[in-house]
Amino acid sequence: MSYDEMFTVLGAGVMRGKGAAASVWRGQGSNITRQILKCTSSYPGDYSTAVGVVVAVFAAYCLLSAAAFTVAEIGGGATAAGGVGRIKRKYLVPSGPFLLPLVLLVLAKGQRINAVFPLARFGPALLLTLQASALAFRNEADGDVRYAVLEASTVSGILHASLYLDAIVLPYYTGTDALRWSRFSGECPTCLCRMEPLVVGGRTVLYRGLSKTALAIIFALCSRMVCRIYGEERLSVWTRSALEMASWVFVSGDAIYLAGWALAEGAAAVFAVYALVGALVFLCVFGKVYRFLAWAENRQVQWKPSLSCHNVV
């Protein structure tokens, strides 16, 4: 249900009960004067279907590009992992300096995108793709200053993307929670009764954009920047590895939770999208584990004492 449909349902109920409520108030005494003002909304309306198609294609490209470069890294294709032709990888992945502003633009206008790819339902999938891309692919730059600028822009982008997503999904979750867990009390044609107070974001869906997942990723990216600028010492490397591991655990948990929520809702299209995002996350985790095992095997071979044969005279 989009924003305008939700407002239509709530607004229609209020207008149907206007006359009944006014008569009840007038019956309480002539000293009480109540005025029911017509609710006007400044919502400019949804974007056209063409915008929704463009956003859906863009989200599909972000998912496919992240998956393609992850598979290239697992397969050991250094050229493919470095980019396509003369275009570097950082310009092709969602967390790069070229696509990240586009992701922010989509999320900033997400409340008006409710056709084909409504961000109130699919927005978390786009944010998870961005987070997985930021963790899986490091920014590449020649100097430390350029690297610091790129990494700081990625951190800022993830923070803003999380805030933009919350501005989209929290009103949607609140509205759906209000419609789902409320019932007519019978006092008047539109009087609703709730057993519990309504909270911002509702209690049906617990996912939030700005959460421990986003904070863990931000700390992990900052630790990367510290290791790059000040050198990789043992303590800093272990701290960075622990933060990255915790970030992957949180991202995987969010992907599983959202896929389970979509499955419980019975929405096949929503479940398919979150299943694909979950597959991307687990592919990235598998790639990290695979490269770590390969690195550990190479270190074991290097430190293995070599046996030399000596001729006995």
Q: What pLDDT digit, counting tens, does each position of 168-187 carry? A: 999 999 888 887 777 777 77
Q: Is 100 helix (H, G, I), strand (E, B) or coil?
A: helix
Q: Read off the amino acid at residue 241.
A: S
Q: Other CB atoms closer than 10 Å to residue 41's CB: what's the count?
A: 10
Taking the CA atoms of residue 134, residue 135, residue 141 and residue 142 in that order, the dihedral angle to the nearest 10 degrees is 180
Average pLDDT, the chain: 80
Would you state the pLDDT for residue 59?
96
Q: How confident is the model at residue 33 (pLDDT cuts 50, 70, 90)?
A: very low
> Per the confidence metrics, is the pTM higher than 0.85?
no
Q: Tell me which of 141-150, 228-237, 238-247, 299-308 is least confident.
A: 299-308
Q: How many CA atoms lie within 13 A of 143 on its CB side?
A: 3
Q: How confident is the model at residue 214 (pLDDT cuts 50, 70, 90)?
A: very high
Q: Is 311 helix (H, G, I), strand (E, B) or coil?
A: coil
Token pair recorded at residue 132:
């997985």
Q: Are 131 and 217 in contact (CB under 8 A)?
A: yes
